[in-house]
Amino acid sequence: MEDATILDFEFEAHTNPRSGDDRATILANPGFGKVFTDHMAVIRYSADKGWHDARVQPYAPLQIDPACAVLHYAQEIFEGLKAYRLPDGGAGLFRPGENARRFRESAERMAMTPLPEELFLASIRALVEADRDWIPEGEGASLYLRPFMFASETFLGVKPASEYLYLVIASPAGAYFKGGAPSVTLWVSDHYTRAAPGGTGAAKCGGNYAGSLVAQAEAIRQGCDQVVFLDAVENRYVEELGGMNVFFVFDDGSIATPPLGGTILPGITRESLITLARGAGVEVREERYSIDQWREDAKSGRLREAFACGTAAVVTPIGAVRGSGLEFQIGNGGPGMLTEKLREQLVGIQRGVAPDPHGWLERLF
């Protein structure tokens, strides 16, 4: 069996890639997650061969058996990270090692064979190198990278699979929220919860997101941008949005965010913002915060700002919150000063235009 950490990627060039003119048109207004680059990275796993057959090949549909295990038992995980165009024309990745670590932890929680972290990183680098011309320029633009892995063994029976397929695809991306919204409005779900203690809340698996879709649809019907979930035990403590972590900024300049405990995804953007805020002398507390307290603090003025964060949305101000018999505005309903300061510092590091004291930006070329 080969040492998976030193696999070489075989490259197969696309025979009919997008023309330069087509690509330029797409990159001028890429949207989010709708158009994909010319290639994808692929690695296979089987119990007898280990990780093998590492390739960068033309982007194409997959062919799987109707009895493929993922279709029946949902052994699937994914990640999300971005490649950024740097001022000198090069490209960089923001903390990709943290994505590799979280991908491994998600695999372990889902009883999947973990992909070695170095192999995860090698696959990202190989794909970005192959499709380097797809990285857009301009404010808010990036190349969104989606590594994912699923059980590819053909069988029916409730057990961990012994074969897996790992892929990375890439999509040029603009702003996550349409129109680059200055702030978003949240809907508090009182019928659904995202995760419960002992569940898969801390794993980045598709089932968590599938379970949030009905609540997100409810939020849209209510004229809101995103759903916010409360805890599954008492149905009163704020946990996270459908796909983002949440922060609260108070009148004394301190920040609070819900604590990790197995029901909340350990966001890389979340952890980065905590580090940046503390480095600037801001008190950051990881503590439980109830929806009732959120409402009262917003009305009294104790709460000055709130924002959501994640790889796709970066840092997004929260302007208002609604729910059944519930409606309140946060601050002036738009971006707050500390929210904007943290966003500017984070984005500056990601794009190579601000000091990077923690060495978070990995330059690719």
Q: Quote the pLDDT of residue 3.
A: 60
pLDDT at 312 over 90: no
DSSP bridge partners of 307: 247, 317
Residues 6+ apart with CB under 8 A from 164: 44, 45, 75, 112, 113, 149, 150, 151, 152, 153
Q: Quote the pLDDT of residue 224.
A: 96
Q: Quote the pLDDT of residue 174.
A: 87
Biggest alpha carbon distance in the chain?
64
Are the CB atoms for 164 and 201 separated by under 8 Å?
no
pLDDT at 2 over 70: no
Q: Quote the pLDDT of residue 1.
A: 47
pLDDT at 179 over 90: no
Helix, strand, or coil (residue 107): helix
Q: Quote the pLDDT of residue 243.
A: 87
pLDDT digits (tens, 9 = 90+) for 218-262: 999 999 999 999 999 999 999 999 989 999 999 999 999 999 999
Going by their DSSP bridges, the two strands 184-188 and 91-94 should be labelled as unpaired
Q: Quote the pLDDT of residue 6.
A: 76
Alpha-helix residue ranges (DSSP H) falling in 50-131: 69-73, 96-109, 117-130
pLDDT at 180 over 70: no
pLDDT at 4 over 90: no
